Structure 1
């Protein structure tokens, strides 16, 4: 487990004196190229993920790429993935319909509802003999799409749900300028501190070829 402590190097650069960010919106998710509030976030490359006391972050891996992150706090989970999207149109309507079909085909259930970010899916995901409730949220940004899945205690606890929704509102998406096909995952990376810890652990254990993803990298906020 990699532990993350507050220090000046971990914070995003503060705006110059007298030049506080001015935004047209009250909350995000934010695009990296638009003015957004300065706060403490974990830099995962394609995502800058806000964390708070007791938050634990795990990374989702597809092959040798980090493609998503999971925030765990108070018996609740928030899974986030960012994808490329067309310049002039969003994809949440299309993705939402695809998710509904896939969930139903797998024996689950889903219902479209209006949520704090617009249309979302209230779902029951079939897992063995049990059904796992979850909320699928989607936000279309400029050339990107952010999908978030809330599960655990936050499904029935409004206060726990609010805490995770605030995380979504403060995420910064770094799309980059490289050409990407619609729905292609925006690749993430380990924070510098976590990567250094992996390398140090590999050296201490005499395993220079250690693959950090095999151990499920985690970042925990401690005060």
Structure 2
């Protein structure tokens, strides 16, 4: 969001003593990469509109949505042998929550029998973890936990699979994170509450059409029956 400041009239500037002029810091340079906030200018790209997230897509991408009860709370991007999980949360207006969340994740990983160490990544501090793989006897698998504090939101990204160790594979998913746009909205939300997502318009239309077709055509549903008596 851009702020517009009033300018002093030229005559006033000329008559005011130099020592009385207010020193104003130079504006921060425009960022080159995201994640972006929906209220700021962000570069155009091919993105899937998930409501709370505008998700960049590329060739070979498969996008899945994760559910929390009846609500969609996250997105998963699958690329070859790698996966990127994305979840957006509400955050306080004046402070970020990644430091707190990072500590919580490290404790959870340790309690589950894994390990986690902090390292510097492309978005700042992150966690390089070894977490128990799903299924018994599968051992540990590498995972990277990334976090980005935005204006009144927090974006958590989890990289797993080949990209957790391979820099070239990781670069593809890191670019996805850089291109994400978070749509926080103006409604009040407590910190750490998930920003809900929704199906893209095309997917919603397909689901509604499929439901309508199933309603109209039910070949195995018993309808009114006529019994003939002779």
Q: Bin the TM-score by the shorter chain.
A: 0.7 to 0.9
- Matches of 2:197 and 2:80 in 1, distance apart? 25
- Matches of 1:68 and 1:174 in 2, distance apart? 13
Matched, 1:135 2:144: yes
Q: Where do 4+ consecutive residues of structure 1 move more than 6 Å?
A: none
Once the two structures are TM-superposed, the CA of residue 207 in structure 1 deviates from its matched residue by: 8.4
Matched, 1:64 2:73: no
- Computed over aligned residues only, the root mean square deviation of the Cα atoms, in angstroms, reads 1.4
Once the two structures are TM-superposed, the CA of residue 153 in structure 1 deviates from its matched residue by: 1.1
Which residue matches 1:118?
Answer: 124
Relative contact order, CA 8 A, sep 6+: which one is greater? Answer: 1
| Counterpart mapping for 1:76-155 below 5 A | 76-127=82-133, 128-129=136-137, 130-155=139-164
- Matches of 1:83 and 1:76 in 2, distance apart? 23
More strand by share: 1
- Matches of 1:25 and 1:107 in 2, distance apart? 39
SS of the aligned residue for 1:188 comes to coil
Which residue matches 2:50?
Answer: 44
- Matches of 2:117 and 2:181 in 1, distance apart? 28
- Matches of 2:117 and 2:216 in 1, distance apart? 48
SS of the aligned residue for 2:215 comes to coil
Closer/same/farther in 2, CA of residues 205 and 174 from structure 1, 3 Å limit: same
Residue number among 179, 189, 208 corresponding to 1:199 in the alignment: 208
Conservation of the 8 A alpha-carbon contact between 2:35 and 2:178: yes
> How many equivalent pairs are there?
186
Which residue matches 2:80?
Answer: 74
The structure that has the greater radius of gyration is: 2
Please give the TM-score of this superposition, normalised by the length of structure 1.
0.81
Once the two structures are TM-superposed, the CA of residue 158 in structure 1 deviates from its matched residue by: 1.2
Structure 1 gap ranges (5+): 1-22, 209-223
Residue number among 170, 173, 182 corresponding to 1:164 in the alignment: 173
SS of the aligned residue for 1:198 comes to helix
Instruction: Map Cα deviations across residues 69-119 of structure 1 (whole Å, 9 max, x no partner).
Output: 000012100000000000000000000000000110011111100000000
Structure 2 gap ranges (5+): 1-28, 218-230
Once the two structures are TM-superposed, the CA of residue 204 in structure 1 deviates from its matched residue by: 2.7
Closer/same/farther in 2, CA of residues 207 and 79 from structure 1, 3 Å limit: farther
Matched, 1:182 2:191: yes
Conservation of the 8 A alpha-carbon contact between 2:127 and 2:145: yes
Instruction: Map Cα deviations across residues 165-193 of structure 1 (whole Å, 9 max, x no partner).
Output: 00000000000000000000001000110
- Matches of 1:194 and 1:133 in 2, distance apart? 33
Instruction: Map Cα deviations across residues 188-221 of structure 1 (whole Å, 9 max, x no partner).
Output: 000110011112222333389xxxxxxxxxxxxx
